[in-house]
């Protein structure tokens, strides 16, 4: 898509109704009317990184931390599967308390009794960890690039680089994972040009899944006093990402649902999303996974209501990548 046109759409000049309708048409033609439900377990709020925007950051000493035990994680995953949810998402901070062998064991136990896909969102781990997690049965890995501006990335992620993040994503794909990327809209210092770069990067990378988040400040971080990201801009970014990546699986992120508790899920679905990710983290821990303030709790019934409201249907399959079997003419 022409860069000037993308910029105009991001700024709201191109007409939101036309943009969202175009994105929804691409979604319908390339992904169909199925909405995939992914069940998230946020199993640890410990993190060794110090990202400036995240409440889990290492230097946040005010956050009451938690770690779920292996048996507890596996029981919760099996409970999710019993509801007919075909993808289990295991998410945590970058927490090396969980060893390579321990994560592999959890994956193997989850896959043992249920025909489910396992998605990992564990941050930056050693490359050998990625290989072994895949061998143990992990299907997908979500590692958002957060911003396509390398300098902004370095400022927000002390000691880390965008180049290394992208390198990991390509390594994960080569290792056999269905990969997930994505950005955060509204980061302090971000420009519309940066968002254009995000969309171009996603088009080039063509990930199996992608997630468009929204900056919401967390009160115990260095960015606590910065304004909330703009929801319409996030929805426009989601729609543009749908148009350029065509058949990537795209969730309505929790941040979008947080910014608009009443209509966020529906608005995201109508802008091109085809995934909702309800939170199955045990109630005891949910408030302690405080990546930003006021985080919405998306429950399974609310997800079903949003799908029904859009006239679409909940998928009964695992929702694996649509890109693996893409016919040549689709490119």
Tens-place pLDDT, residues 164-206: 999 999 999 999 999 999 999 999 999 999 999 999 999 999 9
User: In angstroms, rounded to a whole number, what is the distance separating the alpha carbons of residues 253 and 38?
Assistant: 11
Whole-number Å distance between alpha carbons of 57 and 78: 30
Q: What integer pLDDT is reported at residue 25 of this predicted model?
A: 98
Cα separation, 98 vs 135, in Å, equals 17
| Residue-level pLDDT at 74 | 98
Find the range with the poorest average confidence among 5-9, 12-16, 50-54, 285-289: 12-16
Whole-model pTM above 0.85?
Answer: yes
pLDDT tens digits for range 190-201: 999 999 999 999
Ordered by start, the domain boundaries in the chain are 3-314
Listed in sequence order, the residues at least 6 apart from 188 whose beta carbon sits closer than 8 Å to its beta carbon are 53, 215, 223, 226
Q: Which of 59, 42, 46, 44 is nearest to 220 (CA)?
A: 59
Per CATH, the architecture of 3-314 is what?
Alpha-Beta Barrel (3.20)
Asked if residue 331 has pLDDT above 50, the reply is: no
Taking CB atoms within 8 Å and a gap of at least 24, the contacts of 76-79 are 76/41, 76/280, 76/281, 76/282, 77/39, 77/41, 77/110, 77/114, 77/116, 78/110, 78/113, 78/114, 79/280
More confident residue, 323 or 14: 323
Residue 33 has pLDDT above 90, yes or no: yes
Q: Which residue has the higher pLDDT, 330 or 43?
A: 43
Question: Percent helix, strand, coil in the chain (nearest 5)?
Answer: 45, 15, 45
Q: Does 12 score more than 90 pLDDT? A: yes
- pLDDT confidence tier of residue 327, bands split at 50, 70 and 90: low
């Amino acid at each position: 898509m022409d860069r000037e046109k993308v910029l105009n759409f991001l700024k709201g000049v191109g007409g939101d109704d036309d943009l969202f309708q175009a994105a929804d048409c691409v979604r319908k033609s390339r992904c169909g009317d199925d909405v995939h439900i992914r069940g998230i377990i946020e199993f640890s709020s410990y993190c060794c990184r110090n990202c400036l925007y995240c409440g889990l950051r290492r230097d946040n000493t005010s956050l009451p931390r938690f770690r779920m035990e292996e048996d507890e994680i596996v029981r919760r995953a099996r409970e999710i599967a019993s509801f007919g949810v075909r993808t289990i998402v295991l998410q945590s901070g970058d927490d090396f308390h969980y060893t390579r062998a321990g994560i592999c064991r959890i994956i193997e136990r989850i896959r043992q009794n249920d025909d489910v896909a396992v998605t990992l969102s564990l941050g930056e781990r050693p490359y050998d960890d990625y290989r072994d997690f895949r061998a143990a049965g992990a299907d997908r890995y979500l590692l958002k690039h957060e911003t396509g501006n390398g300098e902004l990335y370095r400022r927000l992620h002390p000691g880390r680089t965008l180049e290394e993040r992208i390198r990991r994503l390509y390594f994960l794909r080569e290792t056999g994972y269905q990969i997930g990327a994505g950005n955060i809209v509204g980061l302090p210092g971000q420009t519309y040009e940066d968002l254009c770069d995000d969309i171009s990067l996603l088009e080039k990378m063509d990930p199996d899944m992608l997630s468009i988040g929204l900056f919401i400040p967390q009160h115990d971080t260095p960015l606590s006093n910065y304004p909330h990201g703009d929801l319409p801009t996030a929805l426009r970014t989601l729609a543009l990402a749908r148009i350029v990546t065509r058949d990537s699986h795209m969730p309505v992120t929790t941040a979008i649902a947080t910014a608009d508790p009443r209509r966020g899920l529906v608005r995201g679905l109508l802008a091109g999303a085809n995934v909702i990710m309800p939170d199955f983290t045990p109630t005891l821990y949910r408030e302690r996974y405080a990546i930003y303030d006021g985080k919405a709790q998306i429950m399974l019934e609310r997800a079903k209501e949003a799908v029904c409201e859009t006239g679409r249907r909940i998928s009964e399959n695992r929702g694996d990548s649509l890109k693996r079997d893409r016919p040549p003419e689709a490119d």
